[in-house]
Amino acid sequence: MRVLIVNTSERTGGAAVAANRLMMALNNNGVKAKMLVRDKESDSLTVVGLPKSPMLRWNFLWERLVIFCRLHFSKRHLFEIDIANTGSDITKLREFQEADLIHLHWINQGMLSLSSIQKILRSGKPVVWTMHDIWPATGICHLTLGCRNFTTRCHHCRLLPGNGSAHDLSSSIWEKKAKMLEDESIYYVTCSRWLESEAKASALLKGHKMTSIPNPIDTHIYNRCNKQEARQRLGLPADKRLILFVSQRVTNQNKGMNYLVEACSKLKDIPQMGVVILGGHAEEVADQLPFETYPLGYVNDEHRIVDIYNAADVFVLPSLSENLPNTIMEAMACGVPCVGFRVGGIPEEIDHKRNGYVAEYRSAEDLAKGIRWILTEADYDALSQNAVHKVAQNYSQQSVAIKYLDVYQQAMAFKHYKL
pLDDT 10s digits, 356-370: 999 999 999 999 999
Residues of the chain with pLDDT under 50: 419
Closest alpha carbon to 135 in 108, 104, 158: 108
Q: Is the pTM of this model over 0.95?
A: no
Query: CB 118: neighbour CB atoms within 10 A?
Result: 18
pLDDT averaged over every residue in the chain: 95
Closest alpha carbon to 202 in 163, 118, 115, 144: 144
d(CA 329, CA 150): 29
CA 100 to chain centre: 26
d(CA 401, CA 214): 10
* pLDDT confidence of residue 418: 56
User: For residue 162, is it left (φ>0), alpha (ψ between -120 and 50) or beta?
Assistant: left
* pLDDT confidence of residue 285: 87
* pLDDT confidence of residue 273: 96
